Chain A
Amino acid sequence: MEAVYAICVGLLTFSGVFLCLRGRTFPVVMGLTLLSYAVNLFLFSSGRLKLDGAAILGTSYSYADPLPQALVLTAIVIGFAMTAFIVILAMRARADLGNDHVDGRLPPQPEAKPRRKKEHA
């Protein structure tokens, strides 16, 4: 279970970081979302992984740490608000600046190779 969990968190983080480094706003927003998923899973595991553990006293013989669950809940709510904000901001930037590049302007295009003139036509 631990290995699968760790690989899952790692993959999400990797994809998140990769997408954050892209040049357009949409992949960046997706990357931030994936990063926040990875963070939520990671926070959840900081109370150790446990199957069938209850978080409330007096209901079971084995208990799970309730604090990380509360932390994850807070982190989810905050992450949700932030994602909503950055989506709106990205749309506003698209409207204001006329393109969806993160720097607000498109990088200069490499010049197309000049077509060879047909001299003997």
Chain B
Amino acid sequence: MSEHLTILPILLPLIGGLLLLLPPLGTNLVRQRAGALVVAVLTLGCAIALLLQSQQAGIQLYVLGNWQPPFGIVLVADRLSTLLVLLTSVLGLASLLYASAGDDRTGAHFYPLILLQLMGINGAFLTGDIFNLFVFFEVLLIASYALLIHGGGKQKTQAGFHYVALNLVGSSLFLFALGILYGTLGTLNIADMSTKVATLSDGEKVLARAGGLLLLAVFGLKAAMLPLHFWLTRTYASACAPVAALFAIMTKVGIYSIYRVHTVIFGANAGDLAFMAQPWIWPLALLTLLAGSIGALASPNLRELTANLVIVSVGTLLVSVALQSKAATAAGLYYLVHSTLVCAALFMIADLIGQQRGKACDRFVMSRKVRQPALLGIMFFVAAMAVAGIPPFSGFVGKVMLLQSADSTSEMFWAWPAILISSLVTIVALSRGGTTLFWRRSSDKTQADPASPWHIAAVVVLLAAAPLMVVLGGPITAYTAAAAEQLHQVPASLDLLLPGGSS
């Protein structure tokens, strides 16, 4: 059993999703709900077991069909991927909890789609093969297309068409890049590619550089890097709350892929092509931070504000990619986990506030009082403090670690002001929004229904991370440091990743 643990986070949601479509479960929403929750809990259990196993026994290699790498398909569970699989499972569970309160009624096949999306995300994190990365990207994307328009409505169709068209162009670019890289390197296994890059001839190097940078553009589109981020705000703001919360990890899939491709394949051992994306990532990271901050100040409602905060978090993570050191990657991973959970929580809180404010929804205008000002206020306050990076919560630790990892003066000169000013802007935008949402009341006395316990449970699961990640800061930072070490030291684990030698 334990040898097959690596593939379970992919298989469980897949089989679960299919079973939920079939008669005994598929005919009844309550059974579907229970089934999906069971599958999500099982996946979470597997993710925890896999994380412990990969921590104790080192990198787990799962060779599908026993075709030895570099020729067959492999799944690789190292510290980085298991951490992200765990994060996805927690987020998936919270999203299902939230949806159980009634958002699942507004459209068909909500639970199977969520589970298939979880399968795609877990697969993208676990695969050790760049073509399978493409396949899992498509799986998670096609599920996300359907989830985005879940519930229907003009706004969703409109945002949905942009999202689908953009991502289809992105997929074409991905395949072009794969074609170029396979044509020059002759392999698609990530570990094998990393050994081949340094041995290319001059002509092939130009092609490989083009392929690598095309991949950066594709991952930049998924991650919402600056010139490619315009789709994000509208898409995330129009999706329904549990879906938007789950989407919070999709930008991180892009960031993960940039880490994987541009530190492993085009990393320190790539000869002339080492760190070739860095000159591009630096300015784009800073500009993404700037664009996200300006967007946050200009947002008319809390959902769009949160979507812009997602862009800010992507910018911060790109700074950690651009810094390239192990310390920066470790800080980036910590920040990645924190920002995913908190942004997801903010999407849910925005929806809760919107439900209780009647017609004004979550727009920053005067409106009737929310039904549960204390509960929602505390949730919003904790999430806002965490996302802005104010001391007792996890955002602070993540940002401090990231600031500390900039060693040279020029790095500090660019990274520090960008991150600090974006945090300040976040505080300004959130406090402006929060005061309007909670304190500018009209005389309308109608009362909305209080939030359902499912809603509160989901938000609490996500928000608990903010203090917990500080309390458990020691073990978590040690873990992310070890994950960064593993990511930067691929040659050390090559024997394990390529037992049959390179092709």
The residue among B158, B168, B172, B183 with the most chain A CB atoms within 10 A of its own CB is: B172
Asked whether, in the complex, the Cβ of A89 is within 8 Å of the Cβ of B131, the reply is no
The residue among A25, A46, A67, A104 with the most chain B CB atoms within 10 A of its own CB is: A46
| Minimum CB–CB distance for B247 against chain A, Å | 17
Contact among A35, A89, A96, A97 with B172 in the assembled complex (CB-CB below 8 Å): A35
Residues of chain B with a CB closer than 8 A to A62's CB: none
Asked whether, in the complex, the Cβ of B145 is within 8 Å of the Cβ of A85, the reply is yes
Asked whether, in the complex, the Cβ of B161 is within 8 Å of the Cβ of A90, the reply is yes
CA distance A93 to B145 in the complex (A): 14
Interface size on A, residues (CB 8 A): 34
Asked whether, in the complex, the Cβ of B165 is within 8 Å of the Cβ of A104, the reply is no
Q: Knowing that A16-B172, A32-B172, A46-B179 are A-B contacts, what are 20 other residue pairs whose CB atoms are under 8 Å apart, sorted by A's residue number?
A: A28-B165, A42-B175, A43-B175, A46-B183, A48-B183, A68-B179, A71-B131, A74-B135, A78-B138, A78-B171, A82-B164, A82-B168, A85-B142, A85-B145, A85-B164, A90-B161, A93-B160, A96-B154, A102-B161, A102-B162
Which A residues are closer than 8 A to B by beta carbons?
A: 16, 20, 25, 28, 32, 35-36, 38-39, 42-43, 45-48, 67-68, 71, 74-75, 78, 81-82, 85-86, 89-90, 92-93, 96-97, 102-104
Given contacts A93-B158, A103-B158, contact A32 B179 (CB under 8 A): no
Residues of chain A with a CB closer than 8 A to B439's CB: none
**Within 8 Å of chain A (Cβ to Cβ): is B176?**
yes
Asked whether, in the complex, the Cβ of B168 is within 8 Å of the Cβ of A104, the reply is no
Which B residues are closer than 8 A to A by beta carbons?
A: 131, 135, 138, 142, 145, 149, 152-154, 157-158, 160-162, 164-165, 168-169, 171-172, 175-176, 178-180, 182-183, 188
The residue among B135, B152, B168, B171 with the most chain A CB atoms within 10 A of its own CB is: B168
User: Can you identify 23 A-B contacts, CB atoms within 8 angstroms?
Assistant: A35-B168, A36-B168, A36-B172, A39-B175, A42-B179, A43-B175, A43-B178, A45-B183, A46-B179, A46-B180, A46-B183, A47-B183, A74-B131, A82-B164, A86-B165, A89-B145, A89-B160, A92-B157, A93-B160, A93-B161, A97-B154, A103-B158, A104-B161
CA distance A32 to B183 in the complex (A): 24
Residues of chain A with a CB closer than 8 A to B154's CB: 96-97, 104
Q: Nearest A residue to B181 by beta-carbon distance?
A: A46
Residues of chain A with a CB closer than 8 A to B178's CB: 43, 46, 71
Given contacts A71-B178, A89-B160, A97-B157, contact A102 B165 (CB under 8 A): yes
CA distance A66 to B415 in the complex (A): 47
Asked whether, in the complex, the Cβ of B179 is within 8 Å of the Cβ of A43, the reply is yes
Asked whether, in the complex, the Cβ of A104 is within 8 Å of the Cβ of B164, the reply is no
CA distance A39 to B174 in the complex (A): 9
Q: Nearest A residue to B139 by beta-carbon distance?
A: A78
Say what secondary structure dominates the interface of chain B.
helix
Asked whether, in the complex, the Cβ of B176 is within 8 Å of the Cβ of A42, the reply is yes
CA distance A44 to B30 in the complex (A): 47
CA distance A90 to B176 in the complex (A): 25
Q: Nearest A residue to B146 by beta-carbon distance?
A: A85
CA distance A103 to B231 in the complex (A): 12
CA distance A89 to B152 in the complex (A): 11
CA distance A82 to B137 in the complex (A): 12
Q: Nearest B residue to A48 by beta-carbon distance?
A: B183
CA distance A85 to B142 in the complex (A): 9
CA distance A46 to B172 in the complex (A): 15
The 7 closest A-B pairs by CB, nearest first: A46-B183, A104-B158, A46-B179, A39-B175, A35-B172, A43-B179, A96-B157
Residues of chain A with a CB closer than 8 A to B149's CB: 89, 92
CA distance A32 to B182 in the complex (A): 23
Residues of chain B with a CB closer than 8 A to A46's CB: 178-180, 182-183
CA distance A28 to B145 in the complex (A): 17
Given contacts A32-B169, A35-B172, contact A93 B157 (CB under 8 A): yes
| Minimum CB–CB distance for A57 against chain B, Å | 13
| Minimum CB–CB distance for A74 against chain B, Å | 7
Q: Nearest B residue to A37 by beta-carbon distance?
A: B172
Asked whether, in the complex, the Cβ of B164 is within 8 Å of the Cβ of A89, the reply is yes
Residues of chain A with a CB closer than 8 A to B131's CB: 71, 74
CA distance A39 to B179 in the complex (A): 8
Asked whether, in the complex, the Cβ of B175 is within 8 Å of the Cβ of A20, the reply is no
Residues of chain A with a CB closer than 8 A to B145's CB: 85, 89
| Minimum CB–CB distance for B461 against chain A, Å | 32
Residues of chain B with a CB closer than 8 A to A81's CB: 142
CA distance A47 to B185 in the complex (A): 11
Asked whether, in the complex, the Cβ of B164 is within 8 Å of the Cβ of A86, the reply is yes
CA distance A102 to B158 in the complex (A): 8
Q: Nearest A residue to B167 by beta-carbon distance?
A: A82
Residues of chain A with a CB closer than 8 A to B175's CB: 39, 42-43, 75
Contact among A35, A75, A96 with B169 in the assembled complex (CB-CB below 8 Å): A35
Residues of chain B with a CB closer than 8 A to A45's CB: 179, 183
Residues of chain A with a CB closer than 8 A to B138's CB: 78, 82
Q: Nearest A residue to B153 by beta-carbon distance?
A: A96
Q: Nearest A residue to B163 by beta-carbon distance?
A: A89
CA distance A71 to B172 in the complex (A): 13
Residues of chain A with a CB closer than 8 A to B153's CB: 96
Asked whether, in the complex, the Cβ of B183 is within 8 Å of the Cβ of A20, the reply is no
Asked whether, in the complex, the Cβ of B176 is within 8 Å of the Cβ of A97, the reply is no
CA distance A20 to B161 in the complex (A): 12
Asked whether, in the complex, the Cβ of B135 is within 8 Å of the Cβ of A68, the reply is no
Residues of chain B with a CB closer than 8 A to A28's CB: 165
Residues of chain B with a CB closer than 8 A to A16's CB: 172
CA distance A82 to B45 in the complex (A): 33
Asked whether, in the complex, the Cβ of A82 is within 8 Å of the Cβ of B171, the reply is yes
CA distance A24 to B168 in the complex (A): 16
Q: Nearest B residue to A81 by beta-carbon distance?
A: B142
Residues of chain B with a CB closer than 8 A to A67's CB: 182, 188
